Amino acid sequence: MSEEITLNVTQSETRLDKYLTAHLDLTRSRIKNIILAGDVLVNGAAARPSDKLRAGDVVTVTLHAPKQASAEPQDIPVDIVYQDEDIAVVNKPQGMVVHPAPGNADGTLVNALLFHLDDLSGIGGELRPGIVHRIDKDTSGLLVVAKNDTAHASLAEQLAQKTARRVYAAIVHGNIKQDEVTVDKAIARSRKDRKKMAPDPGGKAAVTHFKVLERFGDFTLVEAELETGRTHQIRVHATGIHHPVAGDTVYGPKKPKLHSHGQMLHAKKLVLRHPASGEEMTFSLPLPAYFEAVLRGLRAGQ
């Protein structure tokens, strides 16, 4: 299905791409792709992103519904740290997306889980079976998966009530002088870039506790514990205290200053209560090889 939108221009000397970005709730990159695909007409004729509009021009935009992604089992290796009848705890590698979405239709953790596990909860829907919480594509580490709806509800409640603990290791830019820093700033989707999150008093509450583990002058190894679980929370809060996560080109420097592939963020510890038995369970992972390699370089002064 598709939707057609007609806009009447009232102001001259405005670039087409900028005009549409201001009038449609779409990113500028998507606007550019829509124009280049021939789905934007100005006075009935095809246009270019840089074309200047005049007062009285009529702009017609055709928006096509995104292709629906689906989750199919795929024989992709996955490191299952623990599993029983109710839950599974996996070690997600850096570079793997958690669930299918536009732009990542397959090759995700969900595709792998559907192949390797017999059961997954259905609360998350067809594209997110078993997924109670997520970590970013370029973040590695621990993720708990629900194998039935009862377990899913219990785990979701633990996350909401802040009784489950999630601890990350991160290398951040700069030298953090304090040994411990708590950031308590609400987060919402950025008003300037819809692909990003940003501190916003009107957003959802977000609290991150940072603890310094090792200093390298230009970089600091920290432990970051989430009290809440907002999208990109550690990355946004780290940038907010002027110490962005190393390798994070979205919230930090565009050109990485470390010899790393992706952001230096690893979910190393997970503490939760088992949904059936009520037993407290603690899962820990050592730092992955890519993370240790960067640390060796920092310790050697490279």
Burial pattern 211-236, b for ≥16 Cβ within 10 A else e, equals ebeeeeeebbbbbbbbbbbbebbbbb
Looking at residue 144, its amino acid is: V
What average pLDDT does the segment 9-24 reach?
86
Which band of pLDDT confidence, cut at 50, 70 and 90, is reported for residue 93? very high
Please check the confidence at residue 302 and state whether its pLDDT lies above 90. no
Which band of pLDDT confidence, cut at 50, 70 and 90, is reported for residue 65? low
In the chain, the percentage of residues whose pLDDT exceeds 90 is 69
Active site residue 86: no
Q: Which of 167, 101, 172 is nearest to 137 (CA)?
A: 101
Q: What is the pLDDT of residues 33-56, one digit of tens each?
A: 889 888 999 999 889 999 999 999
d(CA 262, CA 78): 20
Q: What's the pLDDT at 117?
A: 93
Mean pLDDT, all residues of the chain: 91
Q: What is the pLDDT of residues 164-215, one digit of tens each?
A: 999 999 999 999 999 999 999 999 999 888 789 999 999 999 999 999 999 9
Q: What's the pLDDT at 299?
A: 92
Which band of pLDDT confidence, cut at 50, 70 and 90, is reported for residue 102? low
Q: What is the pTM of this model?
A: 0.76
Burial pattern 264-283, b for ≥16 Cβ within 10 A else e, equals bbbbbbbebbebeeeeeeeb
Question: Which range is least confidently modeled, 46-60, 137-151, 254-268?
Answer: 254-268
Q: What's the pLDDT at 70?
A: 57
Question: Which range is least confidently modeled, 30-39, 261-270, 275-284?
Answer: 30-39
144 has which bridge partners?
Answer: 89
Kind plus residue range of the DSSP H or E element containing 44: none
Q: What is the pLDDT of residues 205-261, one digit of tens each?
A: 999 999 999 999 999 999 999 999 999 999 999 999 999 999 999 999 988 778 777
The answer to whether the CB of 91 falls within 8 A of the CB of 121 is no
Distances (CA, A) of 138 to 135, 143, 182: 8, 14, 24
In Å, how far from its chain's centre is CA 215? 27
Q: What's the pLDDT at 1?
A: 60
Please check the confidence at residue 69 and state whether its pLDDT lies above 70. no
d(CA 140, CA 205): 24
What residue ranges define each of the domains in the chain, with the CATH number in brackets? 2-64 (3.10.290.10), 67-161 (3.30.2350.10), 162-302 (3.30.2350.10)
Residue tagged active-site, from 86, 136, 138, 248: 136
